[in-house]
Amino acid sequence: MPLRPSRVRLRSAAVSDTGVHRAVNQDAAFTAPWGGAVADGVGGGPAGDLASAAFAHRLAAGRVGTVDPETLAVSVRHANWDLRAHVERDPSLSGMATTFTGVFVSETDTLLLAHTGDSRAYLLRDGVLTQQTRDDSYVQALVDRGLVTAQDAASHPRRNLITASLSGGERDRVMVAEHEARAGDRWVLCSDGLSDYVPHEDIAEAVTGRSASEAAADAVARALEAGTRDNVTVVVCDIEVGEAVSFSARPDTSFYGAAAARFTEGLESA
């Protein structure tokens, strides 16, 4: 089946750092002209790095073009089933899970945002950075009920307790929303190693007025300088809109963090 030409492409960069307080990077990410994503292995569970890397590889495997919401949902479901397959082969992995936040070029030249957990997506448009995802977390639920202020949420002792993730379960769910793909927009995806430690205004400063690669590197550097106790991953996706062209049948997909570390370990065949 021929690939549908698209007027929208992503020019992206990403940086992932284990951080000084962690021995293993449980964050995984990928970038491609048709999409980008970050996944964060759930802390406290087994093999978070395997969960995030396996999910990222399976989601990116074979993808060469645009998607519609239904196709994206199916791809996410198949990637989630891969996590269950790992657990079925090795019961000691039971409970491994990952967050997921990604943006994907749609068949109608819009952008699809998919999300579950507390990894975030921000949109930088006309110099203003706005958060586009809602954290699936215990503390966010407290904020929604007016029991904790947004300012206090950043330092709440249970801020890392999430209420949704992907673990291979049939009831796992991902939110998918459609957004305008406007030329000049910049999407920033990150694990909570950034958003839990760097204030919103500092994130905005880091990702404004520089290249995607410089923005990702500066955001990660700020998290490390702030003393993040987690892994930190930042994906920056710039939207380009032009003449309709087909994506390459061999897309330029790059992996980061746990996904890069496990790239040669056969996860694609899992």
- SS3 annotation, 192-241: HHHHCCCCHHHHHHHCCCCCHHHHHHHHHHHHHHCCCCCCEEEEEEEEEE
Considering the domain delimited by 6-269, tell me its CATH architecture: 4-Layer Sandwich (3.60)
* Beta-bridge partner residues of 131: 122
pTM higher than 0.85: yes
**CA-based radius of gyration for the chain:** 17
Q: What is the distance between the alpha carbons of residues 109 and 6, in angstroms, rounded to a whole number?
A: 6
Question: What is the full per-residue pLDDT of the chain (270 aa) written as tens digits?
Answer: 446 789 999 999 999 999 999 999 999 999 999 999 999 999 766 799 999 999 999 999 867 678 999 999 999 999 999 999 999 999 999 999 999 999 999 999 999 999 999 999 999 999 999 999 998 655 655 555 666 666 655 665 556 666 678 999 988 989 999 999 999 999 999 999 999 999 999 999 999 999 999 999 999 999 999 999 999 999 999 999 998 878 765 568 999 999 998 854 444 443
- Cα separation, 40 vs 96, in Å, equals 11
Q: What residues does 30 pair with on adjacent strands?
A: 37, 255
Q: Give SS3 for 29.
A: strand
Boundaries of every domain in the chain: 6-269
